[in-house]
Structure 1
Amino acid sequence: MTEPAKMRVKEIRIFPIKSIRGMSLPSHRASAVGFEHDRIFMLQRVSDSKNMHVPHFPSMCLFTTEFAPNSEDPDKVLVRFGLDHVFDQPERKLSGNEVLEVPIRPDVAGLKSVEYKLHTSVARGYVMPDEICRWFSERFGFEVRLNYVGLNKREVLGNLNPNAPRTWVGDPDPKKEADKMMSPSGGGWLNGLKAGVGNVLGTVASYSGIDAYKGVDDGLTFTDLAAFLVVNYKSHVDVSGRVQTDIDVEKFRPNIVVDGVDEECGAWSEDYWGEIAIGPEERGTRIAFTSNCARCASVNVDYATGRMHEGPEGQLLKSMQGDRRVDPGFKYSPIFGRYGFLSQKNGQRPEKPITIRVGDEVQITKRNDKRTHFYWPNLGT
């Protein structure tokens, strides 16, 4: 008799438009840049070109997204707004389409190209047509634009890159290690680069010294810092208990939620996960973790009102401050979740997107002896 899997994929989520609400799917295709259609659009305030994130614009949580029902290969995302009036202006009733249809693969030939910077990583995108931007502007009450990433990608910086030098990931202070590699006393940037290549993970670093699997770095879309964000459901239960209410796991914006029945996936055990395998061994799907995910005030947003929560949920971030500030690279922020990248056994890249399904078995293929230490230039501490 086959022993039942100890861990499985509990949920799969994608967020086509960054920082507004996403969708839960029974299965989805994944590639080196993450799940297909995840964070391929991002809103910006026009007046100052500010990237819009839900902790700074809480009303973003009033927008929901979904694919057309029974659509196996969707060509558009359907967007709805939770109010019948402009946010914070109930006297200004909305008219026109209640549902906005945003093409997932727009023709960029006629779209304006713009440069954007997200967490100091720069790339180019495209401004979606006026009628789409106007629909969002009418609901926010100020002018916004919706940017599409297209085929453009951002650079993965610091030690989050799955091919970062081994010492960057395991060093007690990865910033010092990075500075040393690039300094004249350390041989200058050229010798530093050579040393880095000699040390390069071509593998993702492990504190235990176990050989890792080659990480795939194809850049980033509008995702924050990595291709995938994985959270442990047991940790979610722990967090919910701190404010004595069932917190919507979507507030933590995971791509994959895993759950299991033993100590391998006990609350906060994911802090030490170096790599997981998902699904049948012959599929060879692995995610290599390079960093922790630091949390911000976005978890305190009330999804019903589009404002910061006034009840116990408004204390969610504070409830994690006492014992979850466990990464010296983010010493003022609590940690929940692991950032990772697709990896393949024996260094073989996936030739085509891989499908990950709810219910897939999950195995921990590598554990670290210590927690990873976050380093991304000009971010963290």
Structure 2
Amino acid sequence: MTLSGIHIYPIKSAAGITLQSATVQARGLEFDRRWMVVDRSNRFMTQRKFPKMALIQVHLNSDTLAVSAPDIDPLILPLQPTDNEDSGAHLTVDVWGDRCDAISMGAESNAWFSQVIGQDCQLVYMPDNSQRPTDHGKYGNEQSVSFADAYPFLLISEASLEDLNGRLEAPIPMNRFRPNLVVKGCDAFAEDDWNQIQIGKFTFSVAKACSRCTIPTVDQVTGIRGKEPITTLATYRRWEGKIWFGQNLIQVEDASAKNSNLEDGKLEDSQLTVGDRLTIIS
């Protein structure tokens, strides 16, 4: 079994970016969901209520974050926003009841996202010193997560999507489910039975299956919501009152230990790369 896809979503609920390799950090893949759009109450906004967020494209450059959307000029923002408590840019935001520190990306970005989404909102960034434990502290404060719903990594196998597509009238792409890690070489839904796995140099515990909301029903190209694949998934992937697809992972070893290798110039020691071998530990 091998790692066949790596994806990050720098802005929560905006379009993702496909990578050949990604740096593993303490709260997930580098840049994954470090930005988020919040409403006037500083609560997170997603495709669940605003499906057109799927049309927001994100591009990462060496020192800038570029975003684009239909019928509006692109927006270029600094990759590292100014972290100055005296500037008034700091605020507390809400993600599924978790309250954590964030930095506003400024008036220009707020106006841009408000126009695109059609509601007053602002773009915020999670600084390194902002702490948000996974799943309300289930795994202890040492396990941090970004603005992702609950866990740092989401894994789905190609075979599971193939199984689903075999049941659908019109097949759908993997991006409907917004995984970080895609693997191949296993049976459909084999990941349901994994407890601990190794991918490349990294060991992960399978924290829990991923319960699915309505976002997979949003076409990521058009931003239009439909009924599938949730209707079909409900016929064979529903239990405990929820629909399940994919597995949430937590890294067993603190990624900061791996990242210490960066000081020695060993970037590859802190990275996952497409083609890395996946081994089932338990």
User: Could you give the per-residue CA deviations for residues 233-274 of structure 1, whole angstroms, max 9, x where no partner exists?
Assistant: 1101112222233312111111100001xxxx2111111111
CA drift at 1:40:
0.4
Q: Which residue of 1 aligns with 2:272?
A: 356
Q: Which runs of 5+ in 2 are unaligned?
A: 263-269
Aligned with residue 54 of structure 1, among 18, 24, 47: 47
CA drift at 1:100:
1.4
Alignment of 1:172-251 (within 5 A): 217-251=142-176
Verify the 8 A CA contact 1:58 1:308 in the aligned structure 2: yes
CA drift at 1:158:
5.4
CA drift at 1:63:
0.7
Q: Quick one: which amino acid aligns to residue 74 of structure 2? A: V
Q: Which residue of 2 aligns with 1:139?
A: 116
CA drift at 1:153:
1.9
TM-score after normalising by structure 1: 0.67
Q: Which residue of 2 aligns with 1:170?
A: none
User: Could you give the per-residue CA deviations for residues 202-238 of structure 1, whole angstroms, max 9, x where no partner exists?
Assistant: xxxxxxxxxxxxxx93312101111111111110111
Alignment of 1:288-299 (within 5 A): 288-299=205-216
Q: Secondary structure at the match of 2:242?
A: coil
Alpha-carbon distance between aligned partners in 1 of 2:221 and 2:178, rounded to the nearest angstrom: 17
Q: Which residue of 2 aligns with 1:99?
A: 74
Q: Which residue of 2 aligns with 1:157?
A: 135
Alignment of 1:294-309 (within 5 A): 294-309=211-226
Change in Cα spacing, 1:324 to 1:102, as seen in structure 2 (3 Å) is: same
CA drift at 1:160:
4.8
Q: Which residue of 1 aligns with 2:266?
A: none
Q: Which residue of 1 aligns with 2:247?
A: 338
Q: Which runs of 5+ in 1 are unaligned?
A: 1-6, 69-73, 85-93, 164-215, 367-381
Change in Cα spacing, 1:351 to 1:137, as seen in structure 2 (3 Å) is: closer
Q: Which residue of 2 aligns with 1:320?
A: 233
Runs of 4+ in 1 over 3 A off after TM superposition: 157-160
Alpha-carbon distance between aligned partners in 2 of 1:355 and 1:62, rounded to the nearest angstrom: 29
Q: Which residue of 2 aligns with 1:270?
A: 191
- Between the aligned residues of both structures, percent identity stands at 28
Q: Which residue of 1 aligns with 2:29?
A: 35
TM-score after normalising by structure 2: 0.89
Change in Cα spacing, 1:132 to 1:155, as seen in structure 2 (3 Å) is: same
Q: Quick one: which amino acid aligns to residue 269 of structure 1? A: A
Change in Cα spacing, 1:159 to 1:132, as seen in structure 2 (3 Å) is: closer
Whether 1:114 aligns to 2:114 is no
Verify the 8 A CA contact 2:43 2:95 in the aligned structure 1: no
Q: Quick one: which amino acid aligns to residue 12 of structure 2? A: K
Alpha-carbon distance between aligned partners in 1 of 2:163 and 2:142, rounded to the nearest angstrom: 33
Q: Quick one: which amino acid aligns to residue 277 of structure 2? A: E
Q: Secondary structure at the match of 2:232?
A: helix
Alpha-carbon distance between aligned partners in 1 of 2:137 and 2:183, rounded to the nearest angstrom: 24
Q: Secondary structure at the match of 2:5?
A: strand
Q: How many residues align?
A: 271
Q: Which protein shows a greater Rg?
A: 1
Alpha-carbon distance between aligned partners in 2 of 1:137 and 1:254, rounded to the nearest angstrom: 27
